[in-house]
Homo-oligomer: A and B are copies of this chain.
């Protein structure tokens, strides 16, 4: 039941954000299914060699965003009901995050088609490898 987390400690991206993203990727790839147990804050922290509170920070955000349930004594599981589906608010936030990427892309002569091609490759990366370890 070991974890598939690889962190880049040199990155400017905070560790708890990287951890959060890796778990979200695991859910996207369906390596993590609704109801699946996640490691305790202590064991995961020990496994990847970071502090308990850093793991807890990632878990708290994942809980906030509806990815997981945290039970004070039983531990942490992927949300049994699945992740809250995208609504209009989510779409607007996503658009706000895409905005600077697309402005930059336009300046560098990247077309909408090329941009969507990159997106497509990523969608395939997550969807094709359902349950695999890549």
A interface, CB within 8 angstroms of B: 21, 24-25, 27-28, 67, 83-86, 90-91, 94-95, 97-110, 112, 114-116, 118-123, 126-127
Chain B: which residue is nearest A102 at the CB level? B122
Q: B107 contacts A67, CB within 8 Å? A: yes
Q: B98 contacts A101, CB within 8 Å? A: yes
A100: which of B21, B102, B108, B123 is its contact (CB, 8 Å)?
Answer: B21
5 pairs from A and B in contact (CB 8 Å cutoff): A24-B100, A83-B109, A94-B110, A97-B101, A106-B126
Contacts of A94 in B (CB 8 A): 101, 105, 110, 115, 118
Q: A28, A97, A106: which has the most chain B beta carbons within 10 Å?
A: A106
Q: B112 contacts A119, CB within 8 Å? A: yes
Contacts of A99 in B (CB 8 A): 21, 25, 122
Q: Distance in Å from the Cβ of A92 to the closest Cβ of chain B?
A: 9
* A118 to B119 Cα, complex, angstroms: 12
